[in-house]
């Protein structure tokens, strides 16, 4: 969603300005064109050279100078006319107050006031002391900004540079990037509640051992982020993974297939869409040992009895008023044949098939969509890009 987008990145006078260098790098890595605008206060914390080096463009910091002395190129007008979004990160309490009240006394605040509100989105990532954040004046200003259509990213809570603790920290660059992508994403799932499962399950053998699989959860987490960016209220039920909880997604951690099923049954009642991405274990040990099974002798090999786990996708699809159900099939052979049989057996309208060993733990994936009309292959691509494409495909198939 950021490829070839022109982002104005505003930097204000906060210690959190160091995070903006990483944010600029991430935006460029996503294909965006970034122009940095700095206040005088920002330059007390980080140099313009840093951002000029990262972006390959000079930093804009002067209200009274044209970018081209030979033309009437007025910076605070033309910069926003060329931009798709103005992101101020970090945004101090002072700058937030000016924007809320329509005060424009430097280049950055002029840009905020002069932008075309229909074409150039505005978002701020507040960064300030916890008491400044709680101050009634700041509360009023943030409410006014939200009412005016300004997106407010955060803030986060934690240790602050002043030594205090609480709300007011600027969000981390990766979280800001996720929210910027959401800002630029068409809201094709606005008002929808999407329930997603992700990752593996872990079926205990004894208190220290268990049965699991190689799923990393990356595809499910990417779909949760993409659905949230598309305007949905997203609940993610995840088995054991090493991934951070996606921002703006309600994440519930579970371990076993039984726990995942119970969580899905509870949340499916409010869901419009259910996407079963998790690699749920097909079997579990029927009698879990209460203590660690000890290895006494080399010839002593324990015998385990197995039973099937519940079919979560089929169970949700067979509810009286089921959500629109989407399944994933990770196969090792006969991909299309086995995937179509799975779709029909589970009674779902859409199944997404992929080659399991090729995708588990990988950052890219290649899938084929299978529905009543046949099969449609998508090109191999990074999972975050694939997730955005899949959300678009799912949105097109939802009942009116």
CA atoms within 13 A on the CB side of 295: 4
**107's tokens:** 């280049």
Is residue 91 annotated as a catalytic residue, yes or no? Answer: no
Q: Say if residue 70 is exposed, middle or buried (CB neighbours under 10 Å; 0-12, 13-18, 19+).
A: exposed
Structure tokens at 246: 């996606």
| Rounded Cα–Cα distance for residues 58 and 38 (Å) | 11
Residue 379: φ, ψ to 5°: -65, 155
3-state secondary structure of 171: coil
Q: Which of 120, 162, 176, 325 is catalytic?
A: 162
Which helix H or strand E contains 86, and what residues bound it? strand 85-91
Secondary structure of 312-342 in the HEC alphabet? HHHHHHCCCCCCEEEEEEEECCCHHHHHHHH
The kind and range of the H/E element at 204 are strand 203-204
The length of the chain in residues reads 400
Q: Which residues contact 94 (CB under 8 A, 6 or more apart)?
A: 12, 13
Non-local (6+) Cβ contacts of 82 within 8 A are 6
Query: At 296, is the secondary structure helix, strand, or coil?
Result: coil
Positions marked catalytic: 162
């Amino acid at each position: 969603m950021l490829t070839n987008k022109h982002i104005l990145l505003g930097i204000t006078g906060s210690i959190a300005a160091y995070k903006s260098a990483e944010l600029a790098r991430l935006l460029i890595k996503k294909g965006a064109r970034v122009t940095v605008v700095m206040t005088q206060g920002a330059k007390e914390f980080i140099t313009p050279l840093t951002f000029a080096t990262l972006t390959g463009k000079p930093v804009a910091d002067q209200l009274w100078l044209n970018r081209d002395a030979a033309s009437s190129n007025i910076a605070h007008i033309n910069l926003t006319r060329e931009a798709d979004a103005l992101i101020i990160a970090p945004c101090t309490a002072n700058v937030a107050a000016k924007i809320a009240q329509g005060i424009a006394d430097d280049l950055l605040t002029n840009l905020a006031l002069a932008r075309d509100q229909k074409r150039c989105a505005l978002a701020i990532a507040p960064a300030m002391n916890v008491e400044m954040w709680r101050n009634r004046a700041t509360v009023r200003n943030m409410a006014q900004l939200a009412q005016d259509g300004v997106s407010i990213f955060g803030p986060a809570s934690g240790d602050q540079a002043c030594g205090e603790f609480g709300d007011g920290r600027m969000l981390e660059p990766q979280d800001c990037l996720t929210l910027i992508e959401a800002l630029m994403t068409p809201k094709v799932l606005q008002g929808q509640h999407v329930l997603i499962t992700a990752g593996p399950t872990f079926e205990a053998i004894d208190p220290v051992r268990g049965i699991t699989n190689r799923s990393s959860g990356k595809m499910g987490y990417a779909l949760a982020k993409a659905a949230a960016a598309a305007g949905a209220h997203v609940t993610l039920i995840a088995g054991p993974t090493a991934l951070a909880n996606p921002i703006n997604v309600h994440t519930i951690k579970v371990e076993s297939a039984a726990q995942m099923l119970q969580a899905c049954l509870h949340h499916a009642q409010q869901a419009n869409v259910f996407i079963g991405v998790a690699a749920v274990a097909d079997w579990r040990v029927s009698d879990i040992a209460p203590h660690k099974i000890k290895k006494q002798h080399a010839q002593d090999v324990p015998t385990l009895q197995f039973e099937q786990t519940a079919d979560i996708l089929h169970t949700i699809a067979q509810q009286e008023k089921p959500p629109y159900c989407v399944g994933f099939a990770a196969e090792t052979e006969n991909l299309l044949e086995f995937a179509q049989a799975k779709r029909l057996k589970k009674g779902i309208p859409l199944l997404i098939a992929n080659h399991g060993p090729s995708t588990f733990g990988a950052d890219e994936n290649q899938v084929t969509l299978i529905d009543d009309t046949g099969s449609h292959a998508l090109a191999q691509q990074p999972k975050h890009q694939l997730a955005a494409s899949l959300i678009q495909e799912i949105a097109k198939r939802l009942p009116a």
